Chains A and B, each alone.
Chain A
Amino acid sequence: MPLVFAGVCSHAPGITGRAHLADPAIRDEFYSHYHRLRGALEAAKPDALVVVGAEHFANFFFDNMPAYCIGMADFYEGPIEDEEWLGIQRRRIPGAPDLSKRLIARVMDDCDVAYAQEWKFDHGISVPLHFLTPRYDLPVVPVNINCQEPPLTPLHRAWAFGRALRKACDAAPERIALIGTGGISHWPCTPDSGTVNETFDRDFLDKFVNNRKDDLLAYTDEEVYREAGHGGFEIRTFIAIAAATEGATGELWFYAPIPIFAVGCTVATMSV
């Protein structure tokens, strides 16, 4: 049946791991929007959650890096990081292997995609789940777009992938919710960690919530790297969600640079 929910949120490890170092007022306001997103997600009564993320070498490495991968496991495990470091306890997360298989097959009509029957979630998926499905009772289908090191999939391919994913979700009988998770401008894990280009982010988010395809696809990697840092490559996850909700617009619920979280913290929804 048609997709029942779509949204985006940040996933930086500092959001949970360095929570105690943040200004409590802004942190708690940000968290309240994760909680609001959880409420909206639950109200849509999904049978499964598809998370489009950009993992960071937890599963995929330079020996065999897929541009796109969809999980097809009975269960997942995460976070892979030190539990104390991330502030999230490691656990098993239920998968939806049969649904995964059908989604993958359908996506393959339009886009080539790798699949994985073993997948350890890193903060890229564990942080969103920590807020959105804290009981870990909603089966998850993880989707990865390589946003870490070039060569990266071009933005127009991320769009095509998002469309294909939407077609696949709509063709399934299950009620599926879709969450994209990435950073916009940020320079994670480097000496520039904590820098955020708020102008870039707000401009990007304006294009995102208004679903202006041509503007979203006009960025070059060099421009993104210069203006938004290597973390900015993760705009691919937002672009996939915009494509999955092509023609619809969204609402930006929260945006604020929180330097100790090393990212412009974002929560937004898209109409489905």
Chain B
Amino acid sequence: MSLYYVQKLMYQLNRDPRVRERFEADPERVLEEYELTDEELEAIRKPDIGLLFVLGVNGQLLMHYAAMHRYPWADYIQAMRDGVEEHGKVREGLYAMLEE
């Protein structure tokens, strides 16, 4: 797993409008620049907000990625709940803090 790079992508999408423009125009070109597993790539492309949450993406990054995909707030919250239901509890990162 390469949670660091998933989060780095989201950090850069949030912070840099040029990265966002490039991503919107040609996501694959941008994704090539990050060390991502197939599972992560699929979750980012879809986007599978619930799986991204389970993979450990910090909500302070994930909520903006969801907003970029026009998720209303309630749908964003529900997507994370569905993700946990489908994929199990958060695997690493902040929300797995007491598991590690």
Q: What residues make up the interface of A, taking CB atoms closer than 8 Å to B?
A: 14, 18, 21, 56-59, 61-63, 80-82, 85, 120, 148-150, 188-191, 193, 222, 225-226, 230
B14 touches A57 (CB 8 A): yes
6 sampled A-B residue pairs with Cβ under 8 A: A56-B60, A80-B14, A120-B15, A149-B58, A189-B58, A191-B77
Does the CB pair B98–A226 fall under 8 Å?
A: yes
Whole-angstrom CA separation of A80 from B73 in the bound complex: 18
B80 contacts the other chain (CB 8 A): yes
Most buried by A among B53, B73, B81, B97: B73
4 smallest A-B Cβ distances: which pairs? A189-B59, A56-B60, A189-B63, A191-B80
Task: Report the separation of the CA atoms of residues A173 and B95 in the bound assembly, to the nearest whole angstrom.
Answer: 45
A190 touches B61 (CB 8 A): no
* Interface flag for B4 (CB, 8 Å): yes
Which of A21, A61, A188 is in CB contact (< 8 Å) with B8? A61
Q: A18-B73, A57-B61 are in contact. List 10 more A-B contacts (CB 8 A).
A: A57-B7, A62-B4, A62-B7, A85-B67, A149-B58, A149-B93, A150-B94, A150-B97, A189-B59, A190-B95
Which B residues, 42 to 100, have Cβ-Cβ distances below 8 Å to chain A? 53, 58-64, 67, 73, 77, 80-81, 84, 93-95, 97-98
In the complex, which residues of chain A have a beta carbon less than 8 angstroms from the beta carbon of B14? 57-58, 80-81
Main secondary structure, interface of A, reads: loop
Given known pairs A58-B15, A62-B7, the reply for A82 and B94 (CB within 8 Å) is: no
Nearest-CB residue, chain A, relative to B66: A189
In the complex, how many angstroms separate the beta carbon of A160 from the nearest chain B beta carbon? 25
Complex CA gap A226/B67 in Å reads 28
Task: Say yes or no for B23: interface residue by CB 8 A criterion.
Answer: no
Residues of A within 8 A of B80 (CB): 190-191
* B-side contacts of A225, CB under 8 Å: 97-98
Neighbouring A residues of B15 by C-beta, 8 Å: 58-59, 80, 120
B interface list, Cβ under 8 A from A? 4, 7-8, 11, 14-15, 53, 58-64, 67, 73, 77, 80-81, 84, 93-95, 97-98
- Residue of A at shortest CB range from B74? A21
Classify the interface of chain B: helix, strand, loop or mixed.
helix
Q: What B residues does A14 contact at CB under 8 A?
A: 73
Q: Which residues of B contact A21 (CB under 8 A)?
A: 73
Task: Specify the chain A residue showing the minimal Cβ separation from B100.
Answer: A150
CB contacts (< 8 Å) of B60 on chain A: these are: 56-57, 148, 188-189
Residue of B nearest to A17 (CB): B73
Select B62's contact among A63, A82, A189, A222, beta carbons within 8 Å: A189
Please state if A82 and B73 are interface contacts (CB–CB under 8 Å).
no
Residues of A within 8 A of B7 (CB): 57, 61-62
Q: Given known contacts A149-B58, A189-B60, A190-B59, is B94 in contact with A230 (CB within 8 Å)? A: yes
Closest to B63 in A: A189
A80 — which chain B residues lie within 8 A by C-beta?
Answer: 14-15
With beta carbons under 8 angstroms apart, the residue of A58, A62, A82, A193 that contacts B67 is A82
- State in angstroms the CA–CA spacing of A93 and B79 once bound together: 35
Task: Give the nearest-CB partner of A187 in chain B.
Answer: B59
* Chain B residue, CB-CB nearest to A61: B11
A58 to B60, CA, bound (A): 9
In angstroms, Cα B63 to Cα A160, docked, is 33
B76 vs chain A, min Cβ distance (A): 8
